[in-house]
Chains A and B, each alone.
Chain A
Amino acid sequence: GQGVEQPAKLMSVEGTFARVNCTYSTSGFNGLSWYQQREGQAPVFLSYVVLDGLKDSGHFSTFLSRSNGYSYLLLTELQIKDSASYLCAVRDQGYNQGKLIFGQGTKLSIKP
């Protein structure tokens, strides 16, 4: 069926890295976005990708493989403040081109 899937939880260690995976199966594809959501707060936009490959944005990098319906968000040099949920969202295609389909989010916990 159609949807966006993410693991519910992920743990890592301060100073290392974390990779948040996202797989999707949708009727159309017009880009994929990543959002960060801290506990009790609104999601905040991090990155948008529409072409295959790695997009390096410093602390955050994103990878996309359209043929595999797969993306990941890579966080490097982790800090405790990076502890949050990370939401993957696929932009549908066609008439409703603005509509985002969200995954359930991955809660990233970072230990000292």
Chain B
Amino acid sequence: EAAVTQSPRSKVAVTGGKVTLSCHQTNNHDYMYWYRQDTGHGLRLIHYSYVADSTEKGDIPDGYKASRPSQENFSLILELASLSQTAVYFCASSDEGRNSDYTFGSGTRLLVI
């Protein structure tokens, strides 16, 4: 079954530390996305990618980097984690990005202390 798998499921990080969130999809989709979800804000797009070795900035990219080393893998990197980055992070994939729906991963709950 096609799926999007995120790791870790949850993480506690120290302010100023480096955090890497990983996402792996078996959908054979070209498009991958990273969203964060906060109460009252819904899902906000951080970074996305149309093809391996290329990433694009979303609506709230500050403080985050992304890496797409292959079609299947898409990582989100917090070089210097801050308290404001405490949130639930969702990875998603879609096919061709036009009229197809997103398949989401189960989410990563990140707590920065």
Contact = CB atoms under 8 A, between A and B. Distances in A.
A55 to B, nearest CB: 14
B48 A43 contact: no
A70 interface: no
Nearest to B94: A98
B50 A98 contact: yes
Interface residues of A, number: 26
A100 B58 contact: no
A86 to B, nearest CB: 11
Interface stretch (A13-21, A73-81, A101-109): A101-109
Nearest to B45: A99
Interface string A1-35: 00010001000000000000000000000110101
A87 B99 contact: no
B107 A42 contact: yes
A65 interface: no
B91 to A, nearest CB: 9
A99 to B, nearest CB: 7
Interface in B61-112: 90, 94, 96-99, 101-107
B106 A43 contact: no
Contacts of A45: 101-103
A85 B106 CA distance: 15
20 contacts: A30-B99, A33-B102, A35-B102, A41-B106, A42-B104, A42-B105, A43-B90, A43-B104, A48-B99, A91-B99, A98-B48, A98-B94, A98-B96, A98-B97, A99-B48, A102-B35, A102-B42, A102-B43, A103-B42, A104-B40
